[in-house]
A and B are shown apart, each in its own frame.
Chain A
């Protein structure tokens, strides 16, 4: 029997590209003069960092959708919860530098006449605790939700719809002022992280680098999981759930493990995202956001991990470009993307690239009409 290779060719290229970007982009920003064409301007750094967070999020979505067949329309909830955990830490770091100068209470609490810190804000001034919560909060929600849903054998679109209901309910809840998370405005006006000023170029470069590392690590973790026998069982569950049961596998537990891990990765992505964009608010819970994440995965290629990350980069770069040049057209483009990808690119960009290169190898045509911009293959 073949030995399983955790890092295949595509994955290897992907890791190299991500890690190289994580080092070279900060380096070019620091070392090259502003006029140099290879110099990455300051404003680009958090933007690119944001894309990396989205890519990690997409990898998390792909783990459950691509390998386990669970189409989550609520991963935005896990992402946002991770983001809120980080945001709470950042809020408490502001201390008495807020508008109202209260050393303990964040501004919005002073404004809303809070007398003391709500209990669930305790401990968030301690960085390791906050980081633990980045994993624990989304993980716990995912565990409770998945425990009930998988045990009751809710599958397919029903599961998708209730994940959507979950994030919708959370959105409504976080919009409420008396939830204690800043209501409509969310958490913002952060000052520094671990003592480093949050908008200083060096902090941003570090965060960017960490995002790249997190993406690489998240990819490796998922890849290791799906290439193990556990991963084979996951795919078996995806393709023939009841058959897997009759082989003696407790399908719900297999799903639950992947689901919780995926939620935690989404939480990490959210936690890295918040200091780079400087705000977290309830709109991150909006069902539309979560559905958009799914299309990233579909564009890149479902069930490939690398494709998911790639899709997130392509779609979000496209979004940035469109909203700059033709803001009206963005929703048309996104909508068309949903339709065209599901109809014509069931395996995504990665699948397309693979089949093109196969054809090319087989026939060696005189010219290749489709320039392949992807690093894969």
Chain B
């Protein structure tokens, strides 16, 4: 993305500010050094015995040494572990002496001092999977005491994963020191994870651990509780069982919540794609097979707007979607009006012919876009407010999905207002209900037809802006939506906007709830079959328009 790192503008500042900057940096560094001195002075455990083990180049010795280092509390421990992980921990097969290779020369692992001369026959201490596991655990334990809370949080999560009993003393030490509640909770979880597998830990501690873990209620907690050693007491086993049941229930609950959320998200996409069709098909009775291409044109408008912004005004990037919305609406509305005036208006009252002609239009539009932009996917970026996610319970909600749901609803209700409250809406309803009467009352039906079709197309266009955020922007974009959109409109009830709303979300949620059982493809097939059967039962959809006018 085009946003520049914050430090770049400072590079252009004057030399005097640069100097103050350097000075203050230096000051901070010094302060850090001073602060760390007492810690060093406080305890300087001798780790040379542990270090010597690396010289044996035996996997088990190496692993033991790593574990010992992790709990040693030595300030050198982190450097040694890092060096080993990076292949920079060397040993001399002859003397068994161990060194760390750094850019500034060989360093003695125990003291951290640079060594003047080192043997020439050094080779790296080797690692196998076991050693690597030990390394991970040690790295985790060592960063538990890092100054950065985010690092500590990561470390706690790492320990939780590894459940390395060797890390227990470090974890407990870290808990005692910890002040940030979130990190403290994570550390407590890590400790509990270790305790569950540690058969020699005190029983009450382990019971508390089981309860703590069960309360997480996720997949990890279930596998942790399952890993309770077989020689644990029956009481603990029962507690673990209860915990597993509880966690499984919570898991099921969140799985449903998750699917409903995905379903709402899919529903909003369907709604966006179908709203325009609800006007052209539902209100005007025009079968517009080029509807999907209107969506596609909206998405390409977004692409073009973003390209221009990238080239001419990168600082506007976060506004790109906001700028693209009206442009996409205008552009697709104009294309729609053009189609209506040149093709569709000659075919009113002949729905099947309209279907064929607009299909032809859709082929032309697809090929036109392919000729101009090429057949490949175009990269449409997300503004910062669209990226990222937040967590509710075990549900991860991404901002782009959330915005699209809101956006779909806003578009829907705006349209509802336009149709109910504006003169255009009044004319549209008049013309669609009784064209001749409307004409007799002085309404220019031709113009209203064009405007209505333009409105439907324009809405498809702004749907395209939103869909460009979650779908591939390619000439085929529209094709993927056309069948779904028709299904939504027909299912919801032609001529009824509320039906479209309910239809979209029902189909979206149903689709996602089916997926875990049937798989994505079969789920979709089932849904199609369901709609086919549904139309047999209620040929006019969920919320059918009533009365004689509909017949004929």
Contacts and interface: CB of A to CB of B under 8 A. Distances in A.
Interface in B381-400: none
Given A152-B536, A168-B528, A176 B521 contact: yes
A295 interface: yes
Given A332-B367, A339-B360, A157 B355 contact: yes
A331 B366 contact: yes
B356 A298 contact: yes
A154 B539 CA distance: 6
Interface stretch (B95-103, B166-174, B442-450, B483-491): B483-491
Nearest to B486: A161
Interface in B349-381: 351-357, 359-364, 366-368, 370-371
B293 to A, nearest CB: 10
A287 B354 CA distance: 17
Contacts of A162: 531-532, 535
Interface in A134-187: 145, 148-149, 151-154, 156-158, 160-162, 164-166, 168-169, 172-173, 175-176
A371 B302 CA distance: 48
Contacts of A342: 347, 353-354, 356-357, 360
Nearest to A297: B356
A154 B537 CA distance: 9
Interface string A310-347: 00000000000000000010011011111101110010
A180 B522 CA distance: 14
B343 interface: yes
Contacts, number: 113
B355 A173 contact: no
Nearest to B482: A287
- If over half of B's interface residues share one DSSP class (helix, strand or loop), that class is named, otherwise mixed; here it is helix
A55 interface: no
B521 A175 contact: yes
Kindly name the residue among B359, B367, B490, B529 whose own CB sees the greatest number of chain A CB atoms within 10 A. Answer: B359
- If over half of A's interface residues share one DSSP class (helix, strand or loop), that class is named, otherwise mixed; here it is helix
Contacts of A156: 351-352
A157 B287 contact: yes
Contact of A148 (B287, B353, B483, B533): B533
Given A154-B539, A328-B367, A71 B352 contact: yes
A298 B536 CA distance: 28
Interface in A235-257: none
B348 interface: no
A321 to B, nearest CB: 17
Contacts of A164: 483, 486
A332 B364 contact: yes
B287 to A, nearest CB: 5
A343 B347 contact: yes
A165 B528 contact: yes
Interface string A186-201: 0000000000000000
Interface in A350-372: none
Kindly name the residue among B343, B536, B537 whose own CB sees the greatest number of chain A CB atoms within 10 A. Answer: B536
Interface residues of A, number: 42
Given A158-B535, A160-B352, A336-B364, A169 B528 contact: yes
A336 B536 contact: no
Interface in B482-536: 483, 486-487, 490, 521-522, 524-525, 528-529, 531-533, 535-536
Contact of B360 (A173, A336, A346): A336
B346 interface: yes
B521 A165 contact: no
A165 B539 contact: no
Contacts of B368: 332
Kindly name the residue among B486, B529, B533 whose own CB sees the greatest number of chain A CB atoms within 10 A. Answer: B486
A152 B539 CA distance: 8
A156 B539 CA distance: 11
Nearest to A166: B532
Contact of A154 (B360, B361, B529, B536): B536
18 contacts: A145-B532, A152-B536, A154-B536, A154-B539, A156-B352, A157-B287, A160-B352, A164-B483, A166-B528, A169-B524, A172-B524, A172-B528, A175-B521, A294-B356, A328-B367, A335-B363, A339-B343, A339-B357
Interface of B: 287, 289, 343, 346-347, 351-357, 359-364, 366-368, 370-371, 479, 483, 486-487, 490, 521-522, 524-525, 528-529, 531-533, 535-537, 539
Interface of A: 71, 145, 148-149, 151-154, 156-158, 160-162, 164-166, 168-169, 172-173, 175-176, 287-288, 291, 294-295, 298, 328, 331-332, 334-339, 341-343, 346
What are the 5 A-B residue pairs with the smallest beta carbon separation, nearest first?
A: A338-B360, A335-B363, A335-B364, A331-B367, A152-B536
